[in-house]
Structure 1
Amino acid sequence: MKAKIKAISYYLPADVLSNDSINNQFPEWSADKISEKTGIYQRHISGKDEFSSDMACNAANKLFEEHSIDKRDIDFILLCTQSPDYFLPTTACILQNKLGIPTSCGALDFNLGCSGFVYGLALAKGLIIAGIAKNIMLITSETYSKFIHPRDKSNRTIFGDAAAATLVSTEGIAEIMDFELGTDGSGAENLIVKNGGMRHPLINGKDKEDQFGNIHNDDKLFMEGSKIFNFTNEAIPRLIKSILKKHSLENSDIDLYVFHQANKFILNHLRKKIGIEENKFYYFLKDCGNTVSSTVPIALYEAIKEKKATGNVLIAGFGVGYSWGSAILKF
């Protein structure tokens, strides 16, 4: 039995944070400087009372409407989020009720960030191959903006909120081939929200200013940018080499590369280091920023719409954890 991507839709919140708005708050960072460095011109921000389940519902309903999918056919929900509505219950269970999907449906959350979509496809394929489910709705939904300190200008320029819904089934537009997955938890503290869990339950962090004028607080998102870059620089070229070898393919056999849309600087660096032709490398972050686990499905949706997703498409996600994953999609 084969597992295939049948359809993708996504949702962006209504509120927009533009580079001009960031520049107004931080005059030393011009809008042009931000866009030149990151490739991002604006990012969408979830509303004060808008949370991961709300965005996930919007993405799922768009999936049903855009692709004429009957919600009664969904027999499993996989939700990738690091910003769940609650510690418990599972947000995927809340989604089943909100969406009116039959109670015979399985549902679970998994906590993973920028590699989450690739891992989610691996889980979905496993459920199909094992005969456990036939129509799996894989949702990625993050409200990272709620983790970011208002005076952390670096992270505010990069991250946006979004949700994407992908139907994985036994038939569809792209067969999901083999995977390469990896983990290195030694880098956990380089991208972390330290307070709020069981190990550090109290929300009592103190503001600290770094050498670049960013404010950090253990209650908020912390990212050690240089170490994240070094990790990506070392791990991702190896990942791409491994996934190509597993499929007995060369770089030239890949028709399109869709990487996690971290920021344009990192993407350009990886593209050149791996030796990928620019016309085979897909970018989609200008108007939404780094949406964590939703970057790959959003980029895939747009690539499909532009008729650029054909033949062999290599997807790759990497980041928080550290974690990384790649797969080949055959269109």
Structure 2
Amino acid sequence: MLTGQFQNIRIAGLSVAVPTGKVPVEDFYTVFGEENVEKFKEMTGVHSVSRAQPNQTASDLGYEAAVDVFNKSTLAKNDIGILIFVSQKPDYRVPSTAFVLHKRLGLSENCLCFDLNLACSGFIFGLQTILSLLQSSGSKAALLITGDTSVKTLSPHDRTMVMLFGDSGSATLLEKTNDSTPINLAFRTDGHRFKSIITPSGAYRNRYAPKEREAWSDGILRSDYDTHMKGMDVFGFSITDVPLLMKDFLTIQEKTPEEYDYFILHQANNYILKQLSRKLKIPTEKIPVSLDRFGNNSSNSIPLVLADHFGLAKQGNLKLFICGFGAGLSFACGDLIINTAVINPLIETDSYYKEAY
């Protein structure tokens, strides 16, 4: 387990943007049948998913979240010396979408920018990366943007995924300070199972795969340009490897679940959340849920839960345990203290970057 601790850096602002569009799972009755949809809803806990507009990308949602977080923060754009964009749905193959966001936000030329290709663990991996750079640089502040529009690489015939994944974007401001509690993070990776969640074509391997969808061994129509998830592999990983990481982290930190106000966990599905609650002996009331209304939001799950549940909360400090896990396979957890005053309410938007077309 790789660990990291960061002193004298705080989360100075957090905003999340979701599209105005929501799709109730009942809309899929005609596609998958009422019985199958109701079984899906009971198992996953998902009642509706957030849906980006056709021209709206992950960076559009992240951009709107960034505008919102700057509007509600005392930090200026010129204070930002590092910008990282975490997504598996970039605007282009080249350049990195971070440069598009740098331009749109009007950030200084004295700024380090790049993308991270990560999904459900992306917020915590992004935190580790941006905190490391901020701690070792002369920058006063940094901006972490996460976002995904997962639906854009899902087969509309895939009952295991198309009703599960939602779209959103977030922006988190990090600021150096002389008065801050530590941020502790921990990571593991299992590249041996990289095929467990994969989009086989669309980059530079399998470049000439046919785009027509055909029935796969599970009977679902897909092409190699559609994201595919080996459900049982990912499920086993989520209820075995992930709780072990969480337990190891608690042991190293010499802490117990009772010491945390809330556990902000990746919103994979309701059954997995219940299993993590059982294995770690976490009271269910300490695990806020957003997937029932927004679905699994990939790299944006953790910020979305925070904005959804604490964006209108009275001011006060929360001691949080965070955990994300998914494609790679990758898994990460950590703890931090955040003041609810810096967590902004969810915003809704259908805006997109018209100059990009």
TM-score bucket (shorter structure): over 0.9
**Equivalent pair of 2:23/2:50 in contact (CA under 8 Å):** yes
Matches within 5 A, 1:109-258: 109-171=115-177, 175-210=181-216, 213-258=219-264
Q: Which ranges in structure 1 are unaligned for 5 or more consecutive residues?
A: none
Matches within 5 A, 1:1-331: 1-29=7-35, 32-67=38-73, 69-171=75-177, 175-210=181-216, 213-305=219-311, 306=313, 310-331=317-338
Q: CA RMSD in A?
A: 2.2
Judge which range, 181-190 or 236-245, deviates more: 236-245
Letter in 2 for 1:43: V
Q: Partners of 1:88 and 1:251 in 2: how far apart?
A: 43
Judge which range, 51-60 or 141-150, deviates more: 51-60
Give the deviation of 1:203 after TM superposition: 4.6
Q: Which ranges in structure 2 are unaligned for 5 or more consecutive residues?
A: 1-6, 339-357
Judge which range, 311-320 or 174-183, deviates more: 174-183
SS of the equivalent of 1:158 reads coil
Give the deviation of 1:171 after TM superposition: 3.9
Kindly tell me the number of residue pairs found equivalent between the two proteins.
331
Letter in 1 for 2:87: T
1:133-154 CA distance string (max 9 Å, x none): 2211100011110000111122
Give the deviation of 1:213 after TM superposition: 4.6
Judge which range, 290-299 or 175-184, deviates more: 175-184
1:266-302 CA distance string (max 9 Å, x none): 1111211221111222212121111100000111223
SS of the equivalent of 1:102 reads coil
Q: Partners of 2:13 and 2:26 in 1: how far apart?
A: 35
Letter in 2 for 1:268: K
Give the deviation of 1:88 after TM superposition: 0.9
TM-score, normalised by the number of residues in structure 1 = 0.93
**Equivalent pair of 1:41/1:286 in contact (CA under 8 Å):** yes
CA separation of 1:10/1:279 partners in 2, compared to 1, >3 Å: closer, same or farther? Answer: same
Letter in 2 for 1:107: C
Q: Partners of 1:130 and 1:199 in 2: how far apart?
A: 36
Give the deviation of 1:175 after TM superposition: 4.2
**Equivalent pair of 1:195/1:219 in contact (CA under 8 Å):** yes
Letter in 2 for 1:228: V
2:344 aligned partner: none
Judge which range, 172-181 or 47-56, deviates more: 172-181
SS of the equivalent of 2:162 reads helix
Judge which range, 208-217 or 222-231, deviates more: 208-217
SS of the equivalent of 1:56 reads helix
TM-score, normalised by the number of residues in structure 2 = 0.87
Letter in 2 for 1:135: A
